[in-house]
Amino acid sequence: MTRAVLSIGSNVGDSLAHLRSVVSASGGHLVSVSSVYATAPWGGVEQQDFLNAVLIVDDVERGPWEWLAFARECEAAAERVRLQRWGPRSLDVDIVTCDDAVSADPELLLPHPRAHERAFVLVPWLELDPDATLLVDGLVRPVSHWLADTTEEDRAGVRRTDMTLHTPRHAE
């Protein structure tokens, strides 16, 4: 089994529908999905807040590169256009981790090189897996410790909503 942690976000168009499209595309490979969080934009580009969530998925047929292809297919289906780094987008699907894979390939950096700095990734991930760990620069630490290293402002910018990503097929 190849288990991956995916971070998904949107702030253009029907953001909730874009996030739900990833849940739907995950099909039977979806292990769990976090709550939906409204989050302040990250990266210094002036824009509206995002909706973010984390999914845990697994598939014996997929490795890191196949999960990357899945992420890009989901983004393409949402008509994602990459105009500005950290700018507004219809859908962003990032692979945070994929089993214990480590990759320095510019097309697929694993674990995600900035996940440990992003409360909008860490908070929903901890909701799903309170014991999760993350490798950063050769150091494996609990995700909760990485989250504690973020600023109070970043943590306060991650607000749980009443929205849900569960489709009828994936309802609890």
Q: What is the pLDDT of residue 168?
A: 47
Q: What is the pLDDT of residue 172?
A: 44
Average pLDDT, the chain: 91
Over range 78-86, report the average pLDDT: 70
Over range 110-127, report the average pLDDT: 96
Give just the sign of the alpha carbon dihedral 119, 120, 121, 123. Answer: positive
Indicate the class that CATH gives domain 2-114.
alpha beta
The model's confidence at residue 76, banded by pLDDT at 50, 70 and 90, is: very high
Confidence check: pLDDT of 4 > 70: yes
Enter the pTM of the model: 0.92
Residue 82 contacts residue 21 (beta carbons within 8 Å): no
Which 3-state string (H, E, C) describes 59-122? ECCCCHHHHHHHHHHHHHHCCCCCCCCCCCCCCEEEEEEECCCCEEECCEEECCCCHHHCHHHH
pLDDT tens for residues 33-61? 999 999 988 766 678 899 999 999 999 99
Q: What are the residue boundaries of the structural domains of the chain, listed by start?
A: 2-114
